[in-house]
Amino acid sequence: MSGLTDKQDAYGHMMYDYFRSRARNCEMIERDDGYLDGSISGPGGYFAEHKDWHELEKRAIRFARGRVLDVGCGAGRVALYLQQRGHSVLGIDVSPLALKVCKLRGVKHTRLMSITGVSRRLGTFDTIVMFGNNFGLFGGFNRARWLLRRFHQITSPGARIIAATNDPYQTTNPDHLAYHRRNRSRGRMGGQARIRVRYHRYTSPYFDYLMVSKDELGRIVRGTGWKIGGFVRSKGSLYIAILERKPS
């Protein structure tokens, strides 16, 4: 899938509405077991300036260097910050309206593209950023390993992936714990959620979104041409992994 249709672009419509009028209506995330969740703070976080980022992200973005691929760029907050610091940045997203917002806000280079569309045609990158829990876009164990090998092909020696995720097992929510058990019974990773995004009358297709523990991340990375260089940790379940490219 290269891009969403207008009726599927729930996330994009939410961001475009916020960009135009500061409408604080947020998207709802619907899991395939019927569980619904939404952001209490609304869409403003997608537009946050660097000074208002989560402390984890402020610390992790210091690892960015050279030409950057911003995967799931959303409203462009990461791309804009890195542009201001002199980096060449390409933002990719499946949401046409998100990319429209990016352009209107001043992001110079964008491409309507799924993470699976990334290839050598985009050129070579020194850093790949996956903020906003966008490690989840790897989708599942096998797809994550396949994509990491592909990322190895499009990155320079010494390149880094800066990937934010969430340890799904740091929870006492019985609905989440039951979902982990359901996943395992189906041969899936515990934190492999199948979700869709809803906003007003717009609904995205279902897609897999992967959240992993640090041990699971280590198993995914092994043998892909990447290694774990370190973690930027928080007091809670959120963390950011710094992956380092091994020599070919």
Q: How far is residue 179's CA from residue 191's CA, in Å, rounded to a whole number?
A: 8
pLDDT of 117-169, one tens digit each? 999 999 999 999 999 999 999 999 999 999 999 999 999 999 999 999 999 99
Tokens of 14: 């939410």
Q: How far is CA 218 from CA 53, 131, 213, in A?
A: 27, 19, 9
Average pLDDT in the 25-41 region?
91
What pLDDT does 1 receive? 54
CA angle 60-164-5, nearest 5°? 125
The DSSP call for residue 232 is: E
* Sheet strands side by side (includes 238-245): 110-112, 89-93, 68-71, 125-130, 155-166, 238-245, 226-233
Going from the N-terminus, what domains does the chain have, and what CATH number goes with each?
Answer: 53-194+207-245 (3.40.50.150)
Exposure class string for 14-46: b at 16+ Cβ within 10 A, else e: bbbbbbeeeeeebbbbbbeeeeeeeeeebbebb
Question: What whole-number percentage of the chain has pLDDT above 70?
Answer: 99
**pLDDT tens digits for 74-83?**
999 999 999 9
Mean pLDDT, residues 235-243: 96
* pLDDT tens figures, 38-69: 876 789 999 999 999 999 999 999 999 999 99
Return the half-sphere exposure (C-beta side, CA atoms, 13 A cut-off) of residue 69: 30
Q: Which residues contact 153 (CB under 8 A, 6 or more apart)?
A: 119, 120
Q: Is the dihedral of CA 45, 54, 211, 175 positive or negative?
A: negative
pTM of structure: 0.96
Residue in this structure with the two tokens 């880094």, named with its chain if needed: 160
- Rounded to a whole number of angstroms, the CA Rg of the chain reads 17
DSSP symbol at 132: T
Which of 117, 166, 151, 133 is closest to 243 using CA atoms? 151
